[in-house]
Amino acid sequence: MNEINTVELLIEALDKETIGPPDTMTPSYGALYFDCGCGESHILEETHHFLCAIPIKFFFLCDNNVVTLVRVKGMIFQKSVEEWFCDGKLFEEAMEQVEE
């Protein structure tokens, strides 16, 4: 999993995604967990997701203020694939620049 540490790289990564609102999908996968960029493991259902992306991706913001993009793979047996992470404050800065 890659760490994104500049606003420019984050905006570039976001441009590659087809992003939708958080109610587009629900991370209802029982006890499926992901390895967060903060160094801890979190259960998808119990972690705040604030955006979704296609095909089945969630932007999670953990209690440690780290944003991790997680893709869920599999039909019968699901697994999480962590794509990248960044600091929550960096994500906010990127969003402000995109909205300008």
Q: Which two tokens stand for residue 86?
A: 């960044």
Dump pLDDT digits (tens) for 37-75.
Answer: 999 999 999 999 999 999 999 999 999 999 999 999 998
Q: Which pTM does this prediction carry?
A: 0.94
Once rounded to an integer, what is the mean pLDDT over residues 7-36? 94
**Predicted confidence band of residue 93 (pLDDT cuts 50, 70, 90):** very high
Residue 100's pLDDT is what?
A: 66
* Domain carrying residue 79: 2-99
Helix (H, G, I), strand (E, B) or coil at 53: strand
Once rounded to an integer, what is the mean pLDDT over residues 21-36? 92
Rounded to a whole number of angstroms, the distance between the first and last alpha carbons of the chain is: 29
Domains: count for the chain:
1
